[in-house]
Amino acid sequence: MSENQQPLSDEEYKKLLTPIQYEVTRNKATERAFTGEYWNVTDSGVYKCICCEIELFSSDTKFDSMCGWPSFFDALDLKNIVEESDTSYGMIRTEVTCKNCGAHLGHVFPDGPAPTGLRYCINSASLNLKREY
């Protein structure tokens, strides 16, 4: 799927994604801390949505938050994400989803570094790193 294409059906996503990618992106699950593919990766590149390949985050804004998930202090382009209130599990958080396909990405918290003070805590299972060489 590319930008501005219609999202796929559940059955199409199940064929395209691994079980953990499907659970995270389509059912708002969370991968266990320190288990995802990208939590400690420092390679240069652009992180894209695993479901639709829209560009979401840059390695230039990735930092080690020591939380066990990939963390970014800014989105590559804020028009590519949606932030919504999430009160599940008795917490008040801000959920981050892909604007293009609605994939659940993770959450954003106000405890990140300068210059934004934000920490986009994103599941590796929702991302695909396009490395720059």
Catalytic positions are 121
**DSSP calls for the chain:** --TTSPPPPHHHHHHHS-HHHHHHHHH---PPTT-STTTT----EEEEETTT--EEEEGGGEE--SSSS-EESS-S-GGGEEEEEE-GGG--EEEEEETTT--EEEEEES---TTT--EEEE-GGGEEEEE--
